[in-house]
Structure 1
Amino acid sequence: MKKLIAILTVTLTAVLLLLAGCGSVPVTGRRQVLLVSDQEVLSSSLTQYNAYMKSAPKSTSAQQSAMVTRVGKKIAAATEQYLKQNGLAGEVKNFAWEFNLVKDPQVNAFCMPGGKIVVYEGLMELVTSDDELAVVIGHEVAHAVAKHSNERMSQQILAQYGARILNRSLSQKSAAMQAIANQVYGVGAQYGVMLPFSRKHESEADYMGLIFMRMAGYNPDVAINFWKKMSAGGSAKVPERMSTHPSDTRRIGDIQKALPEIKSKY
C-alpha cells in the first residue's frame, strides 16, 4: 500500500508539474512542455555563446558582416512588433539580439536562446540577396521565439530522469542545467553548434521564419530556390527517419504549400 501511494504521489506530482509547465508556440499555437525557466535557459545559453565567440574567428568581410546585421535587425524588429501586437510584449525582454558572421567554411547558422545569431561564411557562398539571407535568419529567429531549446531541455529532463523522480530532478535542475545544456546546445560537437532540434521543430521554424521575413518586408518566394541550392550543395543524405531535419524534398514541399497562405495573411 505504501509503495502504491508513493507511486501515485510521484505520478500526480509529475502530472501537475507537466501541466504547470505547458505553454504554446507563438504563431502556430502548438502546445509544448517547458519545465525550465526562461532565466535558466538564457543564463546557460549565454555562457555557451560567450565561450564559443571567444574562440570563433569573426569574418573579415565587412560587406557580408553588414548584410548579416542589416537583415537580422530588420527581422528582429518585425518579430518584436508581432509579439507586442499579439499580447506577448512580456516575451520581448528575453531577447538581446546579436548578429555575427564567423570565419568557418561550414554551410550553417545557429541561434542561441536570447537572440544570439551566428552565420558561417560557408553559408554566405549560397546567398545572393538579402531576401535569401532572410530565409536563414528568419528560421533561426523562429527557433528562439518558439523556445525550442527550452522544449529540448525539458525533453532531456523527462528522458533522463523519468516520471518516478521527476519532482527531484526538477527541484535540483539548476545544478544539472549545465550538463543538460551541453547536450541540447551541442557547442563544440562534431557537426557544429546548431541546436539538434527535431524534425518537428525544424519544420515549425521554417514556417514561422517565412512569416517573420515576410513581416520584415522580404520576399518569402525565394525560400524554394534557396533550399534547392542548399540541397544541391549538400553531402551524402541521411534518411529522414535518422535525421533531426526533414528531408529536402519534404522541406521544399511544405514551404510551397505554406507560401500562398503566408502571402495572403501577412
Structure 2
Amino acid sequence: MSRWSSETSKKFILVFVFLFLLYGCATAPVTGRKQLILVDPQTEIKLGLQAYEEILKKEKLCNDPTINALVQRVGMRIAKASGKNYDWEFKVIDKPESINAFCLPGGKVFVYTGILPVAQNEAGLATVLAHEIAHAIARHGAERMSIAMVAAFGEVLAAELLDLNNSRTRELFMAAYGLGATVGLILPYSRKQEYEADTIGLYLMAKAGYDPREAIKFWERMRQAASGRRKIPEFLSTHPADGKRIQALKNLLPQVLPIYEKAEHKYGLGEKIPEPHCR
C-alpha cells in the first residue's frame, strides 16, 4: 500500500512547483549562468549568520594585529569591487595545518593561517578572498541547498511512484538513488560552482587592482602544497582537478587583464604576508 494518497502526492508536487516558480529563476554575476535557487535571500543570510556565530564559539581566532589588518584591507577591497552590500566581516582562524578559507552566505569570511604561506603576498590572498566572496555573491550556498532539495524531492517521488513495499528493495533503491544523485547531480554542481567562483574571483581581484596573473601562481603553489595528499577521482570530488582549473584561469587572463589595467588603484602583488604570530 502506498504511503501517500494520490491527493497528498499532488499537493506535494504543487508546493514544489510553486517554490520553483517563486524562487527558481536566478542568474550568477559575471558568468550569466542560470541558477536553480529555491531559498530566499533572507533565509540564506540568516542561516549564514547562525553558522558564523557557531564558528566564533568553537574556533580560535588569530589576534595578530598585522595579519588581521592585512586580511581586512584586502578583503574590503575585493568586497567593494563586488558591489554587493553585505555586512562583510573577515576573520583569521589560528590553524596552521589547515590550508583553507571559506565564506558564509551574507559575507562572513574566514581565513585559516595555514593558507597564508601559500598566498605569500596580497595578490595571492586576494585570489583566495575573491574566490570565497564570489561564492557568496553568486549565492552558491543557496544553490547547493536547492539542489539537495531537488534530490530529496526526486528520491521521495520516485519511491512513491515505484511503490516500493518490500523494505529490502526500498533500502537498495534509496542507496542507489543516493549515490546516483550525489555523483550525477550534487558533485558536478559543486565543481561547476568552483569553476564559477574562480572566474568571478579573477574578475573581482582585477577590478580591485590586484594582478590577476598571480592567481595562476597561487593555484600552482596550492597544487604543490597538496602534492603529498591522497587524491580521489575528479568525478567523486567537490572540486575540479588542479590542472584543469589552472588552465581555465589561464584562458581567462586575456579577458581580465584589461580590467586590471583600468583599475582605479593598482596594488600589483601588494605587500608580502609576514609570518603570523597568534597568541
The structure 1 residue matched to 2:124, chosen from 108, 116, 132, is: 132
Give the number of aligned pairs: 222
CA contact (8 A) 2:93 2:113 kept: yes
TM-score, scaled relative to structure 1: 0.77
Instruction: After TM superposition, give the deviation of residue 15 of structure 1 in Å.
Output: 3.6
> One-letter code of the match for 1:161?
F
Q: Which of 253, 257, 261 lines up with 1:259 in the alignment?
A: 253
1:173: which partner in 2? Answer: none
Instruction: Tell me the distance in 2 between the aligned counterparts of 1:199 and 1:222.
Output: 22
Contact 1:148 1:197 in 2 (8 A): no
Residue 225 (structure 1) aligned to one of 212, 217, 223: 217
Residues 164 and 58 of structure 1: CA distance in aligned 2, closer, same or farther (over 3 Å): closer
TM-score normalised by structure 2 residue count: 0.74
Unmatched 5+ residue regions in structure 2? 158-187, 261-279
Question: Mind listing any 5+ residue stretches in structure 1 that lack a counterpart?
Answer: 84-91, 166-195
CA change 1:53–1:30 in 2 (3 A) is same
Q: Is 1:146 matched with 2:138?
A: yes
Q: What letter matches 2:60 in structure 1?
A: P
Show the counterpart of 2:71: 68
Query: 2: distance between equivalents of 1:253 and 1:233?
Result: 18
- Deviation of the 1:10 alpha carbon: 5.2
Q: After TM superposition, give the deviation of residue 8 of structure 1 in Å.
A: 6.1
Q: Does the 8 Å CA contact 2:207/2:259 hold for their aligned counterparts?
A: no
Distance 2:126 2:34 in 1: 27
Deviation at 1:155, TM superposition (A): 1.2
Calculate percent identity across the aligned residue pairs: 40
Residue in 2 that maps onto 1:100: 91
Q: CA deviation at 1:45?
A: 1.4
- Which of 237, 245, 248 aligns to 2:239? It is 245
Structure 1 consecutive aligned stretches of length 4 or more whose deviation exceeds 4 Å: 3-13
Of the two, which has the highest radius of gyration?
2
Residue matched to 2:207: 215
Q: Does 1:45 align with 2:37?
A: no
Instruction: Give the equivalent residue in structure 1 for 2:180.
Output: none
- In the TM superposition, what whole-angstrom CA distance separates every residue of 1:121-180 from its partner, at most 9, and x where no partner exists? 000111221111000000000000000000011112122233877xxxxxxxxxxxxxxx
1: CA distance between counterparts of 2:189 and 2:151? 15
Q: What is the SS of the residue equivalent to 2:119?
A: coil
Superposed counterparts of 1:128-207, under 5 Å: 128-162=120-154, 198-207=190-199
CA RMSD between the two structures: 2.2
Residues 111, 137 of structure 1: alpha-carbon distance in 2 compared, 3 angstrom cutoff: same
Q: Are the structure 2 counterparts of residues 143 and 197 from structure 1 closer, same or farther at C-alpha, using a change threshold of 3 Å?
A: farther
